[in-house]
Amino acid sequence: MDEIRSLSDLLDLQEVDSQIDRLLHDRQSLPELGEYRKAHEHSEAVNGKLTAAETALRDTSLELDKTEGELEIAAQRLDAEQNRLYAGGLSARDAEYLRREVEMLTRKRSEGEDLVLELMERKEEQEAAVRDLRTEADDAAKVKANIELVIKEAWKGIDAQLAVKEERKAGIVPLIEEDLLDLYEQLRGAKEGVAIGALTDNMCGGCHLKLTAAEVLDAKRSDPPRCIHCRRILVI
């Protein structure tokens, strides 16, 4: 009678363990988890583009500052050389040299002004791109956060059910003989989580194969009874 009681308790444990397994599977198989992975990948990709755009904008800003500084120095030098040229009092040779110097500085100032305009246009485009990417990054982060909230809420409900099942399991385990419990755990690992089944109408509740009358007798001779087909524990 004790053996029957222990096997019956083990069958109860199997049911609870199967429920726990299903809940754990549900926890890891939420459709939102796939959505979250996609949202995370999208968010990371957008943030990567944003980082690259911000770096490009920073480089352009530095180049613009440098060019404007050089242009200001060149303009000051040009003004000074022009004043010297217009002041007169130079030899023909010095005046010619100074005239060529003014022409060169004028050309460089024009090139510098063109470059400044180009950099300013580039900076303006890059600032617009950064603004757009920041908006996209914020939107992606919000989508990701919303999915995360849904997942956490779903997990909260599943975890509450798991806690109930774990409490039920904790009450059953002490009722089962240690050797039988060890065999059960070994079979659980080898038999896709199902270690025991009831024999109903000579059909194994584990593998769902029919046993002949002689096979049922053989199963009964085992301690504990085992299905001859799948070797799961049988409750007869």
Contact 123, 60 (CB under 8 A): yes
CA distance 141 to 39: 8
Contact 199, 211 (CB under 8 A): yes
Q: Helix 2-28 crosses helix 92-172 at what angle (to 10 degrees)?
A: 160
CA distance 236 to 83: 115
The mean pLDDT of the chain is: 91
The amino acid at 77: R
**Using alpha carbons only, what angle is made at residue 21 by residues 18 and 24, rounded to the nearest 5 degrees?**
155
As averages over each run of 10 residues, the pLDDT of the chain (236 residues) reads 73 96 96 97 98 97 92 82 72 73 80 91 97 98 98 98 98 93 95 94 95 92 92 92
- Tell me whether strands 196-200 and 203-204 are parallel, antiparallel or unpaired: antiparallel
Compute φ and ψ for 197, nearest 5 degrees. -150, 155
Contact 32, 147 (CB under 8 A): yes
Contact 119, 61 (CB under 8 A): no
- Candidates 183, 189, 172; CA nearest to 225 is 183
pLDDT for 1: 40
Two structure tokens written together for 39? 């949202």
Q: Is 229 helix (H, G, I), strand (E, B) or coil?
A: coil
Report which secondary-structure segment, H or E, holds 204. strand 203-204
Question: Bridge-partner residues for 226, per DSSP?
Answer: 233
CA distance 211 to 200: 10
Two structure tokens written together for 23? 């809940």
Contact 233, 209 (CB under 8 A): no
Q: Is 224 helix (H, G, I), strand (E, B) or coil?
A: coil
CA distance 79 to 101: 11
Q: The domain 30-155: what is its CATH number?
A: 1.10.287.1490
The amino acid at 232: R
